[in-house]
């Protein structure tokens, strides 16, 4: 794979593993993961998926070797912290945009740097995904949707046309939005919620699970 781009993934959890595999099947050129990068206390093994797990001190060396970076962490606050630390150490770090080959991108879509678009995701016309956002598996974005910088959209979400998701926000699995809903910065919406009205910045919309008492045997 001499023609592939070398990739370092910040993080070594499940999202990082998913990006590692998706990157090998990315549209527009393949990536070859050369390192997972974590804080020392999270380095539980020397390798993951057969790839070295390195500590943050390796960032400068990786940059000197022509490696591109992407954040493989699912929690926006932690993602933001890792991004800040990377850019402190390597101010001109190049970021990889990983788009799995099964993603459907209709005309007029704009995809930022460091974005991950997971398998079987669909973006209708004129969607915009800002830098470092994640749009996970089987997500459907209607026309003219905006996903803000470093936001995370979990599997199975359906965002209706003109939905706006602010930067650093998190949508749990299966969230559904009404058309033209605006979700502010740093919001959290739990799995399965239907968002029918705008959410102010920092709002947490948590669905309390239904409780059911089973009859005795």
Domain edges within the chain: 5-89, 102-206
Model pLDDT for residues 140-158, shown as the tens digit of each residue: 999 999 999 999 999 999 9
pLDDT at 213: 42
pLDDT at 1: 42
Fold adopted by 5-89: Rossmann fold (3.40.50)
pTM of the model: 0.93
Out of 2.160.10.10, 3.40.640.10, 2.40.50.100, 2.40.30.10, which CATH number does the structure's domain 102-206 have? 2.160.10.10
Model pLDDT for residues 7-18, shown as the tens digit of each residue: 999 999 999 999
- How far, in Å, CA of 180 to CA of 163, rounded? 5
């Amino acid at each position: 794979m001499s023609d592939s781009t070398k990739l370092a993934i910040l993080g070594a959890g499940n999202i990082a593993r998913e990006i590692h595999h998706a990157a090998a099947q990315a549209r527009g050129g393949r990536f070859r993961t050369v390192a997972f990068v974590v804080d020392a206390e999270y380095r539980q093994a020397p390798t993951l998926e057969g790839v070295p797990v390195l500590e943050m001190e390796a960032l400068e060396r990786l940059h000197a070797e022509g490696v591109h970076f992407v954040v493989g962490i699912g929690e926006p606050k932690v993602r933001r912290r890792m991004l800040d630390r990377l850019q402190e150490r390597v101010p001109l770090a190049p970021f990889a945009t990983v788009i799995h080959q099964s993603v459907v991108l209709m005309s007029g879509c704009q995809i930022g740097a460091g974005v991950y678009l997971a398998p079987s995701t669909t973006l209708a016309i004129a969607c915009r995904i800002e830098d470092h956002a994640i749009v996970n598996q089987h997500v459907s974005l209607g026309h003219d949707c905006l996903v803000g910088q470093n936001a995370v959209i979990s599997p199975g979400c359906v965002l209706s046309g003109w939905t706006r998701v602010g930067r650093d926000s998190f949508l749990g699995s299966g969230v559904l939005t009404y058309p033209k809903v605006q979700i502010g910065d740093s919001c959290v919406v739990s799995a399965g919620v239907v968002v029918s009205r705008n959410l102010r910045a920092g709002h947490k919309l948590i669905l309390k699970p239904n409780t059911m008492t089973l009859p005795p045997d």
